Structure formats: structure tokens, C-alpha cells
Amino acid sequence: MLRKLFKFHGGVKPQTNKVQSTTQPIAPVPLPERLVIPLHQAVGGHPRPLVAPGDKVFKGQRIGGADGSLSSAVHASTSGIVRDVAPALMPHTSGLTTLSVVIEPDGEDRWGELDKVNYRTTPPDELRDFLRDAGVVGLGGAVFPSYAKLKPGKEGRLKTLVINGAECEPFITCDDLLMRERAADMLKGIVAMRHMLQAEEVLIGIEDNKPEAVAAVQTAIAASGQTGIEAVAIPTRYPAGGAKQLIRVLTGIEVPHGRRSTDFGVQCFNVGTAYSIFEALEFGRPLISRVVTVAGNVDLPRNYEVLIGTPMDHVVRLSGARADTDRYIMGGPMMGVRLPAFDVPVVKATNCILVGSPALFPPPPPEMPCIRCGECAKACPADLAPFEMYWFSRSKNFGKAQEYHLFDCIECGCCSFVCPSHIPLVDYFRFSKSEIWARERDKSSSDAARDRFEFKNFRQEREKQEKAEKLAAKAAATREKVAADSQAGTANPAAEAPDTAKPTAPSAEDTKRALIAAAMEKARQQKAQVAPKNTEQLSAETQADIDAIEARRAVSAATPPTPDA
């Protein structure tokens, strides 16, 4: 049966460079000397560390707990001893550090106790919590926690579940090899996801430059006897693997600005994510390893099953990096980011380590002025006008850039690829986006500061007023009391000045004097009440001493002092 496929706007056809790394099966990687596992690997909150230096951990033991409403747990990739919990360099262009757990493997690679669930009998909420604690995140590159996406829309069921096996970036073949070798297991993960989402149909989109993968998945579907699941070969065109682009190609739905695909009954997951969901549900194994392509400037490009936290140079060494290697790129040549060092760890987002050299990736030709030819707009798969956004980003006119829907840009790099003036357009868009985010943060913090300042002023005013009211009320009460007393009669101990105690209503002067008298009387009473405090519960001896002293004092007070000399 032939399915009607749709086209997305734009796109490019770069050289795929995929055959080099697909000749060999996925290979295991020997244990490295130490694993550095960053705690913050996925979109969302920073997981908190659950282990301390010196602790012994088992393979699959949770070392970072999910924190906040959107966060995903992190696990030990092998058994060993925690050597350190400290900031370490992360695989990110910035060269910044993040809190990481350093594990020295003991070589036994022993699993800890694993929780298992039956996804058919477990309620969806518990299943989602289980996947969150199993650290399952989107392995396509965005590393969005999967449990948050495994919620059916408002209707309670999904129309189409799209599984993304397109893998459109040049050089990367990790999904291709995963589908070829583990199609049956991946399919079990897909069936579980379909059950959670109550999806009517499942479409697995695979670019037609991967016929082996398409065949393997189709065989697996036939063998499983599942209905409503279809592997579809789609035309090879970058970026067919973008979620919105793949949904467009397979279903014809164009997700508009500001809406989500779930609003249209479609949700999209990567094939690697499906496989890790299978591992989590079937064996209770959390996400501790992934398939990583090593390609580019190496003697033997191929795919490896790499433990999360393995230093990248440890993996690349197996493929034999050539002498002129000068950089590692995480991801592909279109969207990948240059890494600050060779020994940064493999993380959940690492689909490919692209080994670069000046010969393979020569420095870009000098940037020329934009001639507004519109090639970028023709190539843009998000239907944007990159030359306009470039103009406003370059002049730091961020408001205008946003008006041209800068935040719908998926940073696929098609515009930079086709630009005849060799302008690094995506760099400008990334710069603009992060500037706008920073401004928004500043704005919200200054708004908060304004509110707090105004509240403090309000509070101080209120306190002042409350104090004044309290004093006024007290004064009024005393005045009333005095007035009542003086009216009652002259035999008032508080009114010491006898002349003022008249039976008629007291004048203002009299009230004042009476108030002073009352205050003095009160003070006198208070003074009389205050006795030295350390005279209670004295022992008999001390009491005797005190009595003796008192007696002596009385005697000396009675007899006048005799002149001594």
C-alpha cells in the first residue's frame, strides 16, 4: 500500500556521508578509567545529587533525583566508587562546568536492584513517574523528558503517534543502526508508548536512504502481528527529521505558530527513545547508555554503545582519530556544536561525535554583505524570512526580530548552508534568542524588585500607622479611666494633688496632671514589685549569712560612725 506523503517548505540536500559508518555493527566500548556523569543532562530542573564521595554505587543506581515539575533522573552507568561530586566541564560550546558525579568503575559492572513494571496494568501516572525516575529523555537531540510528552491530549487519546527514524543530519547513523539491529525491541517500546497515549495509528518515518532500516522495521512489525503500525520511507531531504517537518510529511498537518502538535492529535518521539522505554519497562533498566556515531576525521567510522559519562576521547580512540584532528563536534555538521575539550563526557544528548580537522571542515569563507537574494527564505523549513531576522539581529533590534517569529526558528542551518554571502545566519539567531531570554529574565527580576520595594514602603507606612493608632488608643483609655476615677470621688489614691480633685468635670490641665500622677503611681508600683531575683530558694547557710549582714547593717545605721583617725 502506498501512503500519500506531503512536502514541507524549503530544505536542502547536503552530502549525507552516512555510508562510511554503517559498514560495521554497533560495538561495545571497554570501561574507561573514570566516568564523569553530569547531573543536568536534560531540559528542565537541575537534578539533585543523591550520592556522596566514597559511596559505592551499583550499575543503574539513581545518583541524581528529578527536581521540579519538569526534570529527569540520572543514574550510575556502571558499578564502582563515587570519587567526587563536583563541577566538571560539560559538553557544551560555552565551556562552562556543571555539577557532575565522578565514578571510578570497579570492573564488575554489577547491576543494582531494579524495579520493574507491567505497563498494561500500571496506571498512567505511576508509569510516567517510573519513566521520569528511569531518566528516559528524548534521544533525538532535544533531550526533553519523555514522561512529560507521554500524556494524551484533551480528548484522552491521540490520533497519530509519529516515531522519528528520519535521521536527516549528515554523518549520523546511530538511529539507522539501532533500527537495523534492534527493531523488534524498539517496536515493543513503541507498542508501550502507543498504549500510554491510546494512539489510533503509529507511523514510523524513515528517510529512504536507509532501505535496510526500513526493511528491518517492516519485518519486525510483520513478525509482531501488530496492526495500525506502519514504517514509511520518506524522501531524503534535510531537515525531514525535525519534529514539525516529519509530522508535515507523514500526516499533512502543519503545526502553526504558537500551537503544539498534540492540539492536532499528533505526538512525535525518536526511535532511540522508544528503545530506551523498552529497556526501562521490560528490564527496569534506566537510561545509562546510548548508541553514538563516531565519524569524520577517523580511520574507522562506526557506531558504539557508550555508557553515559564516558570521556569522548576514550570512544574516539577506538576509531582511530587522525593526527590533524583539531576539534570534536557534538551532533552533525548542520546543527552540531563545537566542544571546548576532547575529554568531555558523552551525555544523553550525544548522538554523534563528529571528529573535525581543518581539511575536513575548512574555515568558512569571509562573510560578505547580505544582498537580500532570498535564498535563505526559499530554504527555510519553518517558512521564515531569515534575511529579515538577520538584519534585525545584527543591529540588535530584538523586538523587530521577534516580530518576524525568531522563536519559530529551529536552528537547522539550512539558511547558512545556502547563503551565497556565507553569513553564519544561525549564529546571529542563537545570539538574538539568548539576548532576548536574558532581557526577559532581567525584566522579570526588576519587576519583582519594584514590587518588593513598593511592598516594603507600604509595610513601613502601615507599621508606623499601626503604632500611632495603638498609642492613641492607649492614651484615650487612660484618659477615660482618669476621668471616671475623678468623677467617682476624691478618695482616689492615684490623684495625689488634692486641689485638683473636684467633683465637677476636670479641665484639660487637670486631666493632664492626673495622667502624670497615674503614670508615676504605676511606675512606683512596678518598682516595688521588682525584687532582687536571686533571693529565692536559698540554702540555710546563705540565708544565715544574709541575716547576719542585714543585722550588722542595721546596727551601723543606728550608731553614728566613729571618726577613725
Partner 1 sequence: MLTALLVMTAVALVLGALLGYASLKFKVEGDPLVEKIDAILPQTQCGQCGFPGCRPYATAIASGEAEINQCPPGGEEGIRKLADLLGREFKALSEEHGVEKPKSVAVIDENTCIGCTLCIQACPVDAIVGAAKQLHTVVAGECTGCELCIAPCPVDCITMAPIVENIDTWKWRYPVIQIKQAA
The three three-digit cell numbers of residue 280, written as one number:
526501562
Residue closer to partner 1 (CB basis): 46 or 322: 46
Closest C-alpha among 84, 70, 81, 80 to residue 40: 70
Whole-number minimum distance, CB 364 to partner 1, in Å?
9
Whole-angstrom distance, CA of residue 176 vs CA of residue 271 = 9
- Residue 272 · residue 278 · CB < 8 Å: no
Whole-number minimum distance, CB 100 to partner 1, in Å?
12
Residue closer to partner 1 (CB basis): 346 or 355: 346
Residue closer to partner 1 (CB basis): 123 or 369: 369
Residue closer to partner 1 (CB basis): 283 or 453: 453
Instruction: Name residue 231's beta-bridge partners.
Output: 204
Residue closer to partner 1 (CB basis): 99 or 385: 99
* Interface with partner 1 (CB under 8 A): 40, 90, 92, 94, 96, 98, 366-367, 424, 427-428, 430-431, 433-435, 437-438, 441-442, 445-450, 452-453, 455-456
- Residue 271 · residue 186 · CB < 8 Å: yes
Residue closer to partner 1 (CB basis): 147 or 428: 428
Residue closer to partner 1 (CB basis): 335 or 501: 335
Cβ partners under 8 Å of residue 315, min gap 6: 29, 292, 294, 304, 306, 346, 353
Residue closer to partner 1 (CB basis): 96 or 472: 96
> Which residue bears the cell 559519562?
309
Whole-number minimum distance, CB 456 to partner 1, in Å?
5
Whole-number minimum distance, CB 366 to partner 1, in Å?
5
Whole-angstrom distance, CA of residue 135 vs CA of residue 133 = 5
> Which residue bears the cell 545509562?
288
Whole-angstrom distance, CA of residue 172 vs CA of residue 354 = 9
Q: Which amino acid, 459? A: R
- Residue 193 · residue 150 · CB < 8 Å: yes
Helix (H) or strand (E) holding 528: helix 508-529
Whole-number minimum distance, CB 189 to partner 1, in Å?
30
Whole-number minimum distance, CB 401 to partner 1, in Å?
13
Whole-angstrom distance, CA of residue 517 vs CA of residue 495 = 6
Residue closer to partner 1 (CB basis): 298 or 376: 376
Q: Which amino acid, 530? A: V
Whole-number minimum distance, CB 521 to partner 1, in Å?
33
Whole-number minimum distance, CB 99 to partner 1, in Å?
10
- Residue 190 · residue 205 · CB < 8 Å: no
Residue 262 sits at φ, ψ, to 5 deg, of -65, -25
- Three-state secondary-structure class, residue 100: strand
Whole-number minimum distance, CB 442 to partner 1, in Å?
8
Whole-angstrom distance, CA of residue 7 vs CA of residue 235 = 9
Residue closer to partner 1 (CB basis): 184 or 436: 436
Q: CA triplet 277, 221, 281: central angle to 5 degrees?
A: 20
Residue closer to partner 1 (CB basis): 126 or 454: 454
| Range 18-37 burial, b when 16+ CB lie within 10 A, else e | bebbbeeebeebebbebbbb
- Residue 315 · residue 337 · CB < 8 Å: no
What are the Cα distances from residue 256, in Å, to 91, 383, 398, 503?
Answer: 33, 11, 22, 90
